[in-house]
A and B are shown apart, each in its own frame.
Chain A
């Protein structure tokens, strides 16, 4: 099992957000986590990334047989976890190329792989730019600075392509995207799918799942997964809306 989350309880400032969350993800799988706003979807991504504003009150996350909570933010990334953020930060003055070079160097050093030469790095960057149809010179653009919503998300998937993670968690990657950007981003994710990696797509809408076909769909409500199924669950949700889940949950049916 690549990722195993058991009975996870997470609070922020005394308010419990995740209330007994369970999830198993294996290599080669694509999972979709859906749910209405404010049910803890982004909290889950942030906790896995290692943001320290949360209190983990109970439960465990095991990643590649390691206790995830023992790893620092950067160690998680070096171990192959990638978070595609909902709101990527703008960093004026740091070029995308320098950023990726620094990140790859540290990941390679951690893994004991020889670092890329400048020429190899540039070749890799050109190759991965195609994944999300980027044409700009990335050595001259600061990370996310002045990017539109769509450009920021494309840049996230570009970073994912560069870092070649084992577990990717895409947090609301479809939000704020027009249909063309959505297609490009989804195509990028599909191209990166391998038998050795896994992806968790966190989304509010079923729309993205027209492009990225999930193996499993989970509905997150009130801090836990209340329903799981295959891709048909997503279609059912789109038709019936989240009210259906809320009702069933409150009636104790799920």
Chain B
């Protein structure tokens, strides 16, 4: 690991070149300097092989990653990128190699008061909204990918929905990568929903050009009392990419979080999703779907923290592992002593298609009060032989019968996607993925051949 630490030392040096050019960010500099110190002083936690379910990420770390020091300068992206999810009703925002791309301004302020755009710009314009979220005590997690993100991030997405505003069109945030050199991309995203505000959004990790990347993404989501958020994460990365995705949610009273984490391809991906149910009657529905093959590895870690009484949480994670892929699900429910009348459910269902695919599923329930309803269930199995036979006995060949069953298995998750265009696109992607037609490398999944013009021009200047 010394090599990686040394590499990070170099990144910290490089990072100074980015941040020093903007003097108004002095408070951030102090935070980042502290985080850099912290990272170097503590023994890297998630990088210790005994802490990860697989030590095979080590070679992915020994690559001498660099940072993208300057904003990207592609004249336009439309020659290489077209998103199939995006449509007239969706506003799309793009980060390329970690830098926000924009035309007129780095922050878009919609008529209803919704603000969306670059975190870097938001830090300048609305420091009082952004800074408190950057100061949050992440060290307690003892997770140095989060520390590393704090030490290095330079941009990301910022979304703000004012009190009582129902954002009528979904937002789509796309993290794109285009590089030939090994690149470390530490994005920080902040999503704030005021009281009774409502938003639907998709957040995609994607690649438009094959390159070795380490994505270290941290998202903070704050839901005010009565707020409602649909948050879909879509991941499709090339086989030798390393992706750490952390999402931390704070939920106020009566707020509702609907999340869907869909991983189609991942070299090695670790998704962490945690939510603190701080106010009574808050609800979290957390769904996940992962489809992995070859030697891909996917980990999903979920932490639901029932702090206030009368909250509900549901977790449903499903996955199919083929060939030599490895998938794991770690679901932690913590019911604190004051969280009476909690309802917390967890279900993890997995299919392994080969003898060499590995699935680990680990429910972990920690309950400190009596008046609760909690359940958990986990299955790992093969496709149902009786169902396969039944389908074949009607003339359907084994291959198609398997497809139908796998599609049915995934449908339970894709059907919960509440953005129509996204649900259709995801259903189609799942089908393509199951047929083996969706390649992770070279082409971006969201690229499609029927190239349409982007609804807006993209200028890249910061």
CB contacts (< 8 Å) of A143 on chain B: these are: 390
Chain B minimum-CB-distance residue to A73: B392
Residue of chain A at shortest CB distance from B408 = A93
Q: Measured between alpha carbons, how far is A49 from B411 in the docked complex, in Å?
A: 29
- Tell me the minimal C-beta distance from B403 to chain A in angstroms: 9
Identify the stretch in A29-37, A84-92, A185-193 within 8 Å (CB) of chain B at 4 or more residues: A84-92
> How many contacts A-B (CB < 8 Å)?
76
Answer whether residue A107 sits at the interface, using C-beta atoms and an 8 A cutoff: yes
Decide yes or no whether A137 CB sits under 8 A from chain B.
no
**A94: CB under 8 A from chain B?**
yes
Write the residues of chain A forming the contact surface with B, with a CB cutoff of 8 angstroms: 49-51, 72-74, 76-78, 82-83, 85, 88-89, 91-94, 98-100, 102-104, 106-107, 110, 142-143, 159, 163
Contacts of B366 in A (CB 8 A): none
Contact yes or no, A103 B396, CB < 8 A? yes
- How close is A71's CB to chain B, nearest CB, in angstroms? 12
CA distance A14 to B434 in the complex (A): 39
CB pair A77–B395 under 8 Å, yes or no, is yes
Q: Which residues on the B side are within 8 Å of A102 (C-beta)?
A: 391, 396, 400, 404
B412 touches A (CB below 8 Å): yes
Given A74-B398, A106-B397, A94 contacting B392 (CB threshold 8 A)? no
State whether B387 touches A91 (Cβ < 8 A): yes
Assess the B392–A99 pair: CB atoms within 8 A.
no
Q: Whole-angstrom distance from the CB of A88 to the nearest CB of chain B?
A: 7
Q: How far is the CA of A88 from the CA of B393 in the complex (A)?
A: 11
Contact of B396 among A88, A89, A106, A142 (CB under 8 A): A106
Residue picked from B394, B400, B408, B409, most chain A C-beta under 10 Å? B394
Interface contact B394-A85, CB-CB below 8 Å: no
Complex Cα distance, B398 from A50, in Å, reads 13
B 303-336 binary contact with A (CB < 8 Å = 1; else 0)? 0000000000000000000000000000000000
Q: Which residues of B contact A88 (CB under 8 A)?
A: 390
Nearest residue (CB) in B for A110 is B395
A104 vs B395: C-alpha distance when bound (angstroms): 8
Any chain A CB within 8 A of the CB of B74? no
Residues of the A chain whose Cβ atoms lie less than 8 Å from the Cβ of B409: 93
Q: Is B386 an interface residue (CB 8 A)?
A: yes
CA distance A86 to B395 in the complex (A): 18
Please state if A99 and B394 are interface contacts (CB–CB under 8 Å).
yes
From 399 to 449 in chain B, residues with beta carbon under 8 angstroms from any chain A beta carbon are 400, 404-405, 407-409, 411-412
Q: B129 on the interface (CB 8 Å rule)?
A: no
Report the separation of the CA atoms of residues A73 and B400 in the bound assembly, to the nearest whole angstrom: 13
Other A-B contacts than A102-B391, A107-B395, 18 sampled, CB-CB below 8 A, are A73-B392, A74-B393, A74-B396, A82-B394, A85-B393, A89-B384, A89-B386, A92-B408, A93-B408, A93-B411, A98-B404, A99-B396, A103-B391, A103-B394, A103-B396, A104-B395, A106-B396, A163-B395
Q: Which 7 A-B pairs have the closest CB atoms?
A: A93-B408, A77-B395, A103-B394, A73-B392, A89-B390, A107-B395, A93-B411
The answer on a CB contact under 8 Å between B390 and A51 is no
Whole-angstrom distance between the alpha carbons of A92 and B405 in the complex? 9
Partner of A103, one of B386, B389, B395: B395
Query: Nearest residue in A to B395 (C-beta to C-beta)?
Result: A77
Contacting pair B393 A94 (CB below 8 A):
no
A153 to chain B, nearest CB (A): 14
| Chain B residues within 8 Å of A103, by CB | 391, 394-396
Contact with A along B331-372 (1 / 0, CB 8 A): 000000000000000000000000000000000000000000
B400 touches A94 (CB 8 A): no
CB-nearest residue of chain B to A81: B393
Name B390's contact: one of A85, A104, A110 (CB within 8 Å): A85
**A206 CA to B395 CA, complexed, in Å:** 31
Q: Which of A73, A107, A110, A163 contacts B389 (CB 8 A)?
A: A73
Complex Cα spacing A73 to B389, Å: 8
Shortest Cβ distance from B424 into chain A, in angstroms? 16
- How near does chain B come to A35, taking the closest CB pair, in angstroms? 23
Contact A89 B395 (CB under 8 A): no
Task: Report whether B395 and A91 are in contact in the complex, using a CB–CB cutoff of 8 Å.
Answer: no
- Chain A contacts for B411, CB-based, 8 A: 93
In the complex, 9 of the A-B residue pairs with CB atoms within 8 angstroms, ordered by the A residue number, are: A49-B393, A51-B389, A74-B397, A89-B390, A93-B412, A94-B404, A102-B396, A106-B395, A106-B397
Distance A107 CA – B400 CA, assembled complex (angstroms) = 13
